[in-house]
Amino acid sequence: MTSARTITRNSGVAIWRQIADQIRSDISSGKLATGARIPPEIELATRFAVNRHTIRSAIAALTKEGVLRAEQGRGTFIANSKKLTYRLGERTRFSQTLSTQVRETRGILLAHRLEEAPSGVAEALAMQSGQVVRIDTLHTADGSPVSCATAWFDAARVPNVAEDYSSSGSITFALKAAGIDDYLRKSTIIAARHAEAEELRHLRLSPGAIVLVATAINVDTMGHPIQYSKTRFAADRMEIAIDNESAG
Amino acid sequence: MTSARTITRNSGVAIWRQIADQIRSDISSGKLATGARIPPEIELATRFAVNRHTIRSAIAALTKEGVLRAEQGRGTFIANSKKLTYRLGERTRFSQTLSTQVRETRGILLAHRLEEAPSGVAEALAMQSGQVVRIDTLHTADGSPVSCATAWFDAARVPNVAEDYSSSGSITFALKAAGIDDYLRKSTIIAARHAEAEELRHLRLSPGAIVLVATAINVDTMGHPIQYSKTRFAADRMEIAIDNESAG
DNA sequence: TCAAATTTGTTCGTATGTATC
DNA sequence: GGATACATACGAACAAATTTG
């Protein structure tokens, strides 16, 4: 347990939630390991200079989230811990980048529809006009939701992408079915924000939780854009790594 | 103004803050442009299904942050807007990547000290043993703080890095002074979390705010690590872009 | 110039949540 | 657990500034 950082009163964020966020952050950043015992409530109360009831509220929230596990007479323990790393590269594939870290990954189709390309999407896909297929997906690692995404494709080029994704849980497979055997990551923009209500539900997060938003464009081997997507990662479970191989 | 997303009651995060966060997010994601007028309080109150006072609390918080500006009888307007983009590449340099987006950037030395390499740092710098120079810096763009960083260097190799940074506000300059004319970004890991108290102060953020954390290793032209750093970007002001040039 | 409509600013009161002791 | 203080959220007004007709 690291030292208690200052808490801010009257900020619109209850003290118990600020403390819960700090403890969760210490756990997911690796300062606290799985199975470790956190200090007793009285000690935490002293350290954060708050009442013990306030600490109990924080622990109760984290227990409900599944981050902590309290045992009467023994102490409070860390239930879960380490972050998964999503390695970004030209040939980034979701299941592949996680394959060494988890036993199993899965992709679930949440929704799909044909729509007029929203502003920004047509430009990103270098389309003159026309319709796009939009798919909303959820990705799990060992059964836990780790990210959800919205992706747009040129409807003329990959009309059955939703169906093919649904049956396989894989973008790579769905594109192969449309005759696109290979694709490359052209650009990625990474931002972070608070999770919205739908993301909270899908990723099983609590209000105030953070998502990393990766906005990406994938191109075929001719350099033509085929996929524009926004993936939201649960920031307490995932981090993104960028390796510059030539500088190794 | 996009549609109101759900707010969650009794979550430990005040409703006025959740609404303020949503409005701020809409602004910085570009859904709302500088100078634009946001809907009147009554309309927002209806849309979010809350009392007008609650909307006023949210607006007051954003006004204090400098994001909004209210004028009696006229309306409430967006004061500030666009996000800065930090382009990550092998030769990433802070001032250079922002030079096309802002008039002026500055680096300020907050603190420095000689210390035994903490766990993780010695490995990252490929040092057998010994001391490291740690510097804590703050970076501003056009006067606004956008990021703060902690960086470690092998004390044997760049003993005066703190002094040289202090006088120039530039890592590139400080390394040149130690005879390192060029360096490359080897790896970057990006995560996101809530800002800690010190970061809130330095970056002038409010509790619950988000920081993007970039953990980086820079190497010299021989591939030997010279700098290990953790940079925290205010997520509502900055995003990170990764371009894969060969896939363009 | 005046009047109406719109929009932000202010002041009551009341109920509930948060935090302390 | 109970008592107390303060923050949060709601509701109903009214006041002040601005825009529109």
Residues B208-235 as b or e (16 or more Cβ within 10 Å = b): bbbbbbbbbbbbbeeeebbbbbebbbbb
pLDDT digits (tens, 9 = 90+) for A33-67: 777 788 888 888 888 888 988 888 888 888 777 77
Query: What single letter denotes the amino acid at residue A15?
Result: I
Average pLDDT on A100-119 reads 92
Q: Is B12 close to A212, i.e. CB distance below 8 A?
A: no
pLDDT above 50 for A19? yes
Q: Could you tell me if A202 and A136 are in contact, meaning their C-beta atoms sit under 8 angstroms apart?
A: no
pLDDT above 70 for A3? no
Q: Is B208 close to A235, i.e. CB distance below 8 A?
A: no
From the candidate CATH numbers 1.10.10.10, 3.20.80.10, 3.40.50.1220, 3.40.50.20, the one assigned to the domain spanning B15-78: 1.10.10.10
Q: How far is CA A42 from the centre of its chain?
A: 34
For residue A242, the chain B residues in CB contact (below 8 A) are: 88, 187-190, 242
Q: Which residues pair with A51 in a beta bridge?
A: none
pLDDT digits (tens, 9 = 90+) for A196-237: 878 988 998 877 788 999 999 999 999 999 999 999 999 988
Give the domain ranges of chain B.
15-78, 84-242
| d(CA A67, nearest CA chain B) in Å | 16
pLDDT digits (tens, 9 = 90+) for B124-148: 999 987 899 999 999 999 888 999 9
- Output the pLDDT for position A2: 47
Maximum pairwise Cα distance, chain A: 67
Q: Where does residue A244 fall: left (phi above 0), alpha (psi -120 to 50 degrees), or beta otherwise?
A: beta
Average pLDDT on A181-202 reads 90
- Identify the residue whose Cα has the smallest distance to the C1' of C10: B53
- CATH dotted code for B84-242: 3.40.1410.10
Q: Which of A190, A199, A202 to mutate to test the interface with B (most CBs of B within 10 A)?
A: A190
Query: What single letter denotes the amino acid at residue A199?
Result: E
Task: State whether the Cα torsion B13-B16-B17-B19 is positive or negative.
Answer: positive
Task: State whether the Cα torsion B119-B124-B129-B130 is positive or negative.
Answer: negative
For residue A190, the chain B residues in CB contact (below 8 A) are: 190, 212, 239-242
pLDDT digits (tens, 9 = 90+) for B215-248: 999 999 999 999 999 999 999 889 999 987 665 5
For the record, the structure tokens of A144 come out as 């836990």
The closest CB to that of A235, out of B14, B25, B191, belongs to: B191
Helix (H, G, I), strand (E, B) or coil at A96: helix
Of A15-29, A80-94, B53-67, the range with the highest mean pLDDT is B53-67
Average pLDDT on A139-143 reads 92
Crossing angle (nearest 10°) for helices B15-28 and B52-65? 50
Query: What single letter denotes the amino acid at residue A84?
Result: L
CA distance B118 to B180: 24
**Regions in chain B scoring below 50 on pLDDT:** 2
Q: Is A90 close to B11, i.e. CB distance below 8 A?
A: no
Q: Greater confidence, A160 or A17?
A: A160
The closest CB to that of A235, out of B29, B193, B242, belongs to: B193
